[in-house]
Structure 1
Amino acid sequence: MNLKKIGVVFAAGAVLAACQTDETDTGETEVDQIEETEDTNGEDLDTQEDEAALDEDPDEAVISDEDMAPVSDEDLDNAEAVDDLSQYEEFEQQDVFVPEDYDAYLVSEEGGRRIFVFTEDGEQVFKSIYVTPDNQLQIIDLVNDELLMNDPI
């Protein structure tokens, strides 16, 4: 009889030990880990998107297609020819091109924006847009349709 009691106690101990290492907990843990990984990956994507948005220079102004385009012939005809660019601070601060090498025309100066067009042999070559409140200078190469400068000065 003692042998039966010892066997029952041993079997009960084995059952209790088996209950402490429940496989369903491990399964839930694996599922939790997978969900945490997915959450983390989702957070990583959100974080990467946030960082990408932050990588864009907050001082850099957005430039529109209209800004990238040459001015109309009518606007150029109505523009004021400027011989002395030394009175315009923005051209002293840039080193993208030499404004004195071109014919300069002040197309508009309103709403805090000063727009110049530079021509060579009648063809529009460069366009500058100076945003006075922000001291933001944009220089556009109209021949190659390329933004050369978009920086505060």
Structure 2
Amino acid sequence: MDSRKSDVVIGAVILAFCAFAAWRTTYVHSAPTGTVAGSAFVPWLAIALIAALALILIVRALMHMKLGGADEPVSLPGRATFARMGLFAALMVAYAAAFMAIGYIPSTLVAFVAGLVLFGERRPLVLILLPCIATTAVYYAFTTVLNVWLP
């Protein structure tokens, strides 16, 4: 299968996942919390963004198919990449477990740096500044703009 056809298939699978996630999100009950965003705000935001990106992927692939021409076949990543993906999944599970126990800021900083190192980032400035800026921006957005408590 060439990459254009696989992009259409992947986009369709992602859209199906978004439909499933949207259906399940309708079961999230919003309790009056005094916040700008209810408990379903972040899931709906994620669903909308992922669905939009899936549609862009599909449209881009269909446009390239219409132009014609040869396209390279899709090949699976190597064993090392699969291992890094597995380690990253384990890192995300550990992050989820540590989030409430340790708190948002320390757990996010450690997980962010570990993820960057896992995928080959070695520049000290990036390893220090990017996690600090991103973690602070997300914390500020949730606690100040959305008025949502983070541990």
Q: Name the TM-score, length of structure 2 as normaliser.
A: 0.20
**Structure with larger Rg:** 1
Higher helix residue share: 2
Q: Name the TM-score, length of structure 1 as normaliser.
A: 0.20
Higher strand residue share: 1
Structure possessing the higher relative contact order (Cα contacts under 8 Å, 6 or more residues apart)? 2
